[in-house]
Amino acid sequence: MNNKRKILVTGGAGYIGSVMVPELLKNGYAVSVLDNFSFKQMSLLDVCHHPDLSIINGDARNKTELTKLVSSHDIIIPLAAVVGAPACKKDERYAEELNYEQIKNISEVVSKNQQVLFPVTNSGYGIGQKGIYCDETTPLNPISHYGRTKVEAEKVLLEMGNAVTFRLATVFGASPRMRMDLLVNDFVYRAFNDRFVVLFESHFKRNYIHIRDVVNAFSYGLNNYEKMKGQPYNVGLSSANISKWELCQKIKEYVPSFHILESEVGEDPDKRDYIVSNDKIEALGWQPQHSLDMGIVELLKTYSFLPVNAYKNI
């Protein structure tokens, strides 16, 4: 009999899931992935041999299927989502169903004996105040449909009292299901391929986090669930509360021929301009292991061979 703890990961073949699922298997969990493989990704090929991996090619919006799967697992990690303001704007109803209603459906059937760990965007903080760090007590003010759906989903889970939510900084780094539309990933590609970028709102600041540190935060949450449950945690690099301009200057250290131009035309659909405190999770003992510099070097290696067109969310 297999006595391993069973984890259901919705969207487990996505950008984060494709890094997380192999780690969960390595750490001794039995993992079920529910994914519709809408991007025709093959990111889990390397772990298909694993006897503790199950794959369900299905839709996390299907309440009947989702309810059945939730009831047979010890831990639920709902990664399935329409991610980013542009992608959510393209089909707002689909985003509502996946980002919010999926989570509401999970909350209605999950028991107090089960664990739920959920990623939220820290773009829910909206527009911050200059020089003031957003912590977990800062009022949420999401600007985009994406931010609103994720914040509403988080509220549902926190009201249950036995979930852990991670308010993620902007994620960067390579994944078997790559995303090139994320800010660091995008800017490094522009430096590598185009040798220039045109910035709008170049002074806007945000926080960043490497994808493998996101996975590490979830592992930390699994190992420290009892003392963390019922609360949100910011997860970001405390050394990387920087502006778009500062980010490009950092990339230029590795690509000296990178030209950075500014434009007064254009705006961030999330309007995200804030700095974030990660003190709460760091006080528990968690620390990121991957710097922004490490991520830039990694991405430059990735772009030396990666085909481009398949790796965008819209």
Structural domain includes residue 65: yes
Q: Within a 10 A sphere around the Cβ of 71, how many other Cβ atoms?
A: 12
Query: Could you tell me which residues come within 8 angstroms of residue 37 by beta carbon, excluding any fewer than 6 positions away?
Result: 13, 57
Is it the case that residue 309 has pLDDT exceeding 70?
no
CATH value at residue 81: 3.40.50.720
pLDDT tens, 43-90? 999 999 999 999 999 999 999 999 999 999 999 999 999 998 889 999
Q: Is residue 14 part of a domain?
A: yes
- In a domain, residue 258? The reply is no
- The predicted-structure confidence for 97-141, as pLDDT tens digits, reads as follows 999 999 999 999 999 999 999 999 998 898 888 889 999 999 998
- Please name every residue paired with 275 in a beta bridge, in sequence order, or none if there are none: 133
| Cβ count near 230 (within 10 Å) | 14
Q: pLDDT-derived band of residue 1, with 50, 70 and 90 as boundaries? A: very low
User: For the chain, what is the domain count?
Assistant: 1
13 is a domain residue: yes
| 74 occurs within a structural domain | yes
Q: Which of 275, 152, 140, 137 is nearest to 205 (CA)?
A: 275
Residue 228 lies in a domain: yes
17 is a domain residue: yes
The two structure tokens encoding residue 218: 């979830």
Residue 83 belongs to some domain of the structure:
yes
Q: Residue 99 sits in which domain range?
A: 6-170+210-235
